[in-house]
Structure 1
Amino acid sequence: MSFRRGVVRQSKFRHVFAQAWKAEHCLDDVRVSRVTWDSPLSAVNPKFLAVIVEAGGGGAFLVVPIGKSGRIDQSCPMVCGHAAPVLDIQWSPHDDNIIASASEDCTVKVWQIPEGGLTAPMTEAVVTLEGHSKRVGILAWHPTAFNILLTAGCDNVILVWNVGTGELVYQLADAHPDLIYSVSWNKNGSAVCTVCKDKALRVIDPRRGVVLKVREKVHEGTRPMRAVFLSDGKILTTGFSRMSERQLALWDTKDLSEPMAEQEMDTSNGVLLPFYDPDTNMVYLLGKGDCTIRYFEVTDESPYVHFLSLYSSKEPQRGAGFLSKRGVDVNKCEIARFYKLHERKVEPISMTVPRKSDLFQGDLYPDTAGLEPALLADEWIAGQDAPPLLVSLSGGYAAPPSKHRETVRSKPRLASQDSGSAAPAAPKEAEDEEPRAAARETGGNTERPKREDDILNELLSEMKALRAVVLAQSQRIELLERQLARIEDGDV
């Protein structure tokens, strides 16, 4: 599609609004880890927030219920079973109580957090994975297969584990000649993309141990890079130019000869950590040591990566946790939430799309990956692939309090959007009570224009409600058409 100057690109995410939560909702006195490793240092799911913290005599991380706020007492129980600092933590996508941790002690441990959180320090892991010869800095759970965990260490080796049995199932020892910076699974978990200190982007089939694609010098600079697989199979990378400018690039895996899009941003030193939301196709970039969060929308139309906005605050971030979509507040049209790490504080930041309607906004919330895995570990190991099993977020929607509706006489009372139908109208006697009262006060002359305004307001409200329903159904139809197209193309 040709881009005409002066035409504003249509997108429901053009006005995403970022706002930090009030001080009383933050966590205080959290001694965030000072390790120099470029990981987010935090992980969050709908139940728990985990933060890697400073700990004497070993590695520890804090796990608290997501609703907790206020000061964290120094005696607060932690997960503290590692013999050296923890470098990365990741929640299982298929069990909100399971978290993996990678450490400088060359081990990976998997922990089961009790319902409600820790009541005593946790030192015993469910399973300890030993196979790396140097510190382990990268964890990546398989997106659709239960209990499959990928780890990458400073020994330049990638290992794939079956956490359920504790056994090593695949090893890639000679794919990377230098330090691995990041690893990301594709949507169905059939391949991973990696970036390495040799500046190359690789697409790898971990089961066959085969490097499928290589692109040398994705970014010319010498500082660390990151890569993330997008849901349509493209890859987004962040890195540095030869002049140390921070860059963002989009790559088509069918042809890695040139980037589809490339943007230069600034000359800051902080590594850009990309957080990707496959439901909205938005990418959030957080620079370690920055005070900003940039966000972009990736589309099929040139220039493909569209800058949306920038959130800026006074204090720099040490890292951040990105809440899985199942945890956002759909009543407030929240599409993403970060838990920004300060030196001694954790501050939630909400990304919302301003909407006036009280209805569930189905167009903002397409079905998202649920807890149910699509495959068992053995099925994936045997060669099967499957896309994520999706769930609707409409269940997380709570209708506004009825008294709020009652106070606005001109609004029709509607059932939830799922039913798509209006609730029975109020009895005619109640409807006519107001004009009759007015007639008594004015000696019998009712104000007809006002009555007509009420009818007009009701019609407008009904039209808005119907429009929201139509938008949600259109989104659903579009999703089904895409799935049908994939089936016809043999991708499923």
Structure 2
Amino acid sequence: MSIVRESHYRHVYGEEHSTDMSYTSIKALMIGEGNFIKVNPKFFCVAKNGGGGPVFIHSRGQYGRFPLDHPTINVHPSNVLDFDFNPFHDNIIATASDDCTVAVTTFPMEGLTENITKADCYLRGHTKKLTLLQWHPCAEHVLASCSYDRDVKIWDVESQEEAFSVEDNEGNISSLEWSADGTKIMTTARDMKLRVFDPRDPDGAVMTVDTHTNPKTSRGFWVDDKGIVACVGFKKSSQREILFFDQKKMDKPLYKKDLDQANSILNPYYEPANSMLFLAGKGDTGIRYFELTEQQGFCHYLSEFRCGAPQKGVAFMPRRGVDVGKPELLKVYRLTRDAVQPASLVCPRKNAKAVFQEDLYPECPSAEPSMDVDQYFDGEDKSPKMMSLRPKEIEGGGGKRRKRRNKRESSRLLLPILEELRENEDSGVSTDETDAEDSVILKKRIKELETQLKIAEDSMKDSSSELVSTTESRDPNDYDEMAKLIDDLETRLEISEKNGDELLNELVAVKNQMAVSEVMRGDASETSIDMTKIAILQDSATQMKARIKALESALAKDVEVFMAQNDLFLARTEVVKNALAVHGSTLSSADDSASSDDEELNY
């Protein structure tokens, strides 16, 4: 009997965009160790066959055939083998060429409108053609690159200088990855080894571990939230596999995962927000996804999303670019033989467009750097600045959520009071005297709030009465005057409602303070403050004093009357609006009739 493993992502499925939502007639250059395509929330990019090193940059959402005269960035004399968008500026791109140089170019935020033939800066230092590059995930203007000279160089783009160079690789580098906080770099190479090092420490140790037994291309990736570094590659038998290593003890693999017998090179992407690993092979027609958990086996297969045409390269959208309304776990841009096809991996949820799925979308890295280039080279380490993916239109949540938040706010208001009572007790101050004074102040404030709440209620009643009397006395044909009256009364209603809410919230907070003060005054002389006991007494309605119960009952009746007056006002407003609509329709009919009479007279 097989047992299905419990998972939030068992039902994740893939959606491939239709042809009319794809980008066609693209002849991309597909040589080198890179992925051949990159994407950010505004653009995607591919290198092109042709004279020099042209690079296509196209705005997302402008679907259809690529025109033959599409503008390009052509700042190298030779082919571009890899490129990467700046994570903090969507309109800056770094390109690596087989002319041994790195170029950094800024293009218009609205996209390319003409060819760009000169870069903002060129970075020279490698002695053989470049293969890979990647921007630092936290520090601005820091770039890493590697080439067939087997060196990893760290560039200060701001000053256009080489800052550090690491020369420990003994084989051609096949992958280059920063850790999530940018403190370390990982490389995998054709010598079948994985290396982890801090490029700012030239005398520091380089952690090296043997990986796969086949010298074919392997790719590394970080699982930072679990303290793991991993790579995908091949066994001697050409079977594909994943190896997971503990970052603190990299002498042997912590976990192994055998995959299948195939020749295509796998491109891994790990999403820490959902602990999901995605594998897309060059030449494969699908994307497999796994969940990494502490359960036995660690790497658990979920499913595979199969597409039509085989992919030559794959680009994974940064987390801040996914559509939370679908809800989309991952957006992928697949480069095929002559097209770019977007696809999505979706986790089905009810009412995803109306309710934000907090468990699927915790905070993710933002487009704002956490430090500048000088701070990084001076040895500082900072985590990425995070952002919320919650859309603004559903920021406030529902009514029940608002009540719970108000309860939490009241609890936070009580904490300083409890701390002050504890300090008074420790310092020898008479708690009874202090509480007696506080009790008098609180009772006085309660009376003030009751008076203000009564004024707010009377104001609502006055507004309703004025609406009734004025609508009955005014001429229904006076459209402008009645419209002005409605706007004025609606404004006054909103102000009254707002004032009423504020008074109710403050009254609840004062009531809680009063309860705590009375409890503390009764227990301080005998025992120390018991926070758990106070919390239980606060939440138990039976422990409230008779005055608080009476106030609560009176307040409920006042609110009921208040809401009844509000309903009456809204009903009268609807009647007036309907009368205005009928009046407007009558005027329109009269105008049509007059126009018809004029036409008949002219005839």
User: Which bin holds the TM-score, normalised by the shorter protein?
Assistant: 0.7 to 0.9
**1:335 Cα deviation from its structure 2 partner:** 1.3
**1:419 Cα deviation from its structure 2 partner:** 8.9
Matched, 1:155 2:136: no
Could you say what secondary structure the match of 2:310 adopts?
coil
Match of 2:229 among 229, 235, 241: 235
Post-superposition Cα deviations, 1:80-121, rounded to whole Å, max 9, x if no partner, equal 111111111111111111111111111111111211100001
Matched, 1:297 2:278: no
- Distance in 1 between residues matched to 2:9 and 2:105, nearest whole Å: 37
Could you say what secondary structure the match of 2:325 adopts?
helix
User: What is the alpha-carbon root mean square deviation over aligned residues?
Assistant: 1.8
- Distance in 1 between residues matched to 2:271 and 2:120, nearest whole Å: 30
In structure 1, the partner of 2:98 is 104
Superposition TM-score, scaled by structure 2 size: 0.64
Match of 1:72 among 63, 66, 73: 66
- Distance in 2 between residues matched to 1:305 and 1:360, nearest whole Å: 28
- Distance in 2 between residues matched to 1:419 and 1:147, nearest whole Å: 45
Post-superposition Cα deviations, 1:224-270, rounded to whole Å, max 9, x if no partner, equal 11101122231120000010111112111122232222122222211
Could you say what secondary structure the match of 1:146 adopts?
coil
In structure 1, the partner of 2:11 is 15
Post-superposition Cα deviations, 1:191-245, rounded to whole Å, max 9, x if no partner, equal 11111111011111101123431112x0001201110112223112000001011
**1:391 Cα deviation from its structure 2 partner:** 0.3
In structure 1, the partner of 2:118 is 124
Could you say what secondary structure the match of 1:359 adopts?
coil
In structure 1, the partner of 2:193 is 200
Could you say what secondary structure the match of 2:155 adopts?
strand
In structure 1, the partner of 2:401 is 420
Identity over aligned pairs, percent: 34
**8 Å contact kept, 2:179–2:185:** yes
- Distance in 2 between residues matched to 1:124 and 1:99, nearest whole Å: 13
- Distance in 2 between residues matched to 1:219 and 1:256, nearest whole Å: 14
**CA distance change for structure 1 residues 239 and 71 in 2, over 3 Å: closer, same or farther?**
same
- Distance in 1 between residues matched to 2:296 and 2:53, nearest whole Å: 46
In structure 1, the partner of 2:38 is 43
Matched, 1:62 2:56: yes
**8 Å contact kept, 2:29–2:48:** yes
**8 Å contact kept, 1:250–1:305:** no
Unaligned runs of 5+ in 1: 400-413, 423-492
Could you say what secondary structure the match of 1:259 adopts?
coil
Amino acid at match of 2:359: D
**1:398 Cα deviation from its structure 2 partner:** 5.0
Amino acid at match of 2:126: H
Matched, 1:30 2:23: no
Amino acid at match of 2:401: G
In structure 2, the partner of 1:486 is none
**8 Å contact kept, 1:41–1:320:** yes
**8 Å contact kept, 1:260–1:304:** no
- Distance in 2 between residues matched to 1:66 and 1:418, nearest whole Å: 37
In structure 2, the partner of 1:440 is none
Superposition TM-score, scaled by structure 1 size: 0.78
Q: How many residues align?
A: 399
- Distance in 2 between residues matched to 1:53 and 1:147, nearest whole Å: 26
Amino acid at match of 1:154: Y
- Distance in 1 between residues matched to 2:262 and 2:281, nearest whole Å: 8
Could you say what secondary structure the match of 1:300 adopts?
coil
Structure with the larger RCO, 1 or 2 (CA within 8 Å, 6+ apart): 1
Could you say what secondary structure the match of 1:79 adopts?
coil
Unaligned runs of 5+ in 2: 404-603
Matched, 1:347 2:341: yes
**Higher normalized helix content (fraction of residues):** 2
In structure 1, the partner of 2:371 is 375
**8 Å contact kept, 1:272–1:288:** yes
**8 Å contact kept, 1:80–1:122:** yes
